[in-house]
Amino acid sequence: MKKIIVILGPTGVGKTKLSVELAKRLNGEIINADSMQIYKKLDIGTAKIKEEEKEILEKTKYWLDRYFKGEKPSIDELDLSPLGSDFRKRVWKILCEIPYGEVITYKDIADTIAKQKGLKKMSSQAVGGAVGHNPISIIIPCHRVVGTNGSLTGYAGGIDKKVYLLKHEKVNMEKLFIPKKGTALWVWIFVFIA
């Protein structure tokens, strides 16, 4: 029997309003990624979701299965419509354009947006905030964004997960490094069908 699972992170985040609402709507499990404590358990058979929502979840599972088998599924295979401000959506669109196995910097994204808007410059920190609020990690590949100096910073799932994903995509890690301190972390939520 299949279950919908909502995973939360990082350390100390606990249940967020969004994750609780999502799990409530999907009648799914909420798991804290650090403690793996299960807060709520219901099987998908009792889930109160629309048929088209089941289809989206199944397609997402299929996409992720292929990704982790080493395939390069296209983001276009999924009908993504993350909720966010126009600025965040613009950043997430750029994330979707980063090729598999490559990285770009927060500054690259800031420069692209500045050019699109006819501005002299754009804040890399503002871009970092939008990247950090990416609601669809892995599929919208925020793990492919690094600091200008090659710093692997700001991945909500933890730097070890970012390194894993980049190595999985066979990114050249020679010029990339894990910072000693000051890494920003944001809340992440991930949903899949088990």
Q: What pLDDT was estimated at residue 111?
A: 97
Q: What pLDDT was estimated at residue 189?
A: 45
What is the C-alpha to C-alpha distance for residues 156 and 132, in angstroms, rounded to an integer? Answer: 7
All structural domains of the chain, each given as residue ranges with its CATH number in brackets, are: 4-76 (no CATH), 83-186 (1.10.10.10)
Residues with a catalytic annotation lie at 142
* Global pTM value: 0.70
C-beta separation of 136 from 82 below 8 A = yes
SS3 131: helix
pLDDT tens sequence across 141-180: 999 999 999 999 877 778 888 999 999 999 999 999 988 7
Q: Which range among 108-112, 166-170, 186-190 shows the weakest confidence by mean pLDDT?
A: 186-190
